[in-house]
Structure 1
Amino acid sequence: MGRRKRYSPEQKVNILREVLEEGKTMSEAAAKYEIHPSMILAWRKQLFEGALNLFEIKRTDITEKAQGKKSKALEAKIAEKDNVIAELAQEVLELKKKRVGQS
């Protein structure tokens, strides 16, 4: 009984490229590399499923970046409001001191 030949990811991509880009039939590629055509179909399925995940990740990255920017803008706004509140509190305290001094 023969040993199974293992193909590296690079080899799998090259075989799929021959089928998808260069127009070879799966049967031709399978015969050339001495593999069953169903293996090429399985690799193609993995390729496209992986591509879906790749595009989803990019969309998620964009959303996270946008939320990060929005979060920083909100934090800056809160810091500005905190400063205004602190200034107003200081003014109120000074007014109370003046009022107590006048009594």
Structure 2
Amino acid sequence: MTKRSRRTHSPAFKAKVALAAIKGEKTLAELAQQFDVHPNQITTWKSQLLEGAAGVFGQEKAESKEAAVDLKALHAKIGELALENDFLSGALSKAGLLSAKR
């Protein structure tokens, strides 16, 4: 009997199988046959889904903190570029290469 090569399943597939197990409409053996996965693997995915379910509702706070950091960096870059523009426009106008009209 030949061994099956190691398979990697996508997160979407794992979630689909775990949700089917949580629903409880079919037994683990039936789900294992339907999705061609070992019943122990289904149990593992189910427990991972249940453990990580609380994190789904807590993501809003984490994302807002990351966005604040990005805004600070963007504001700093905008200020830096505004200073460069002012400096260069002053230097060019002194050299006579930039007209007074904009």
Name the TM-score class by shorter chain.
0.3 to 0.5
State TM-score, norm by structure 2.
0.48
Give 1 or 2 for the bigger CA radius of gyration.
Answer: 1
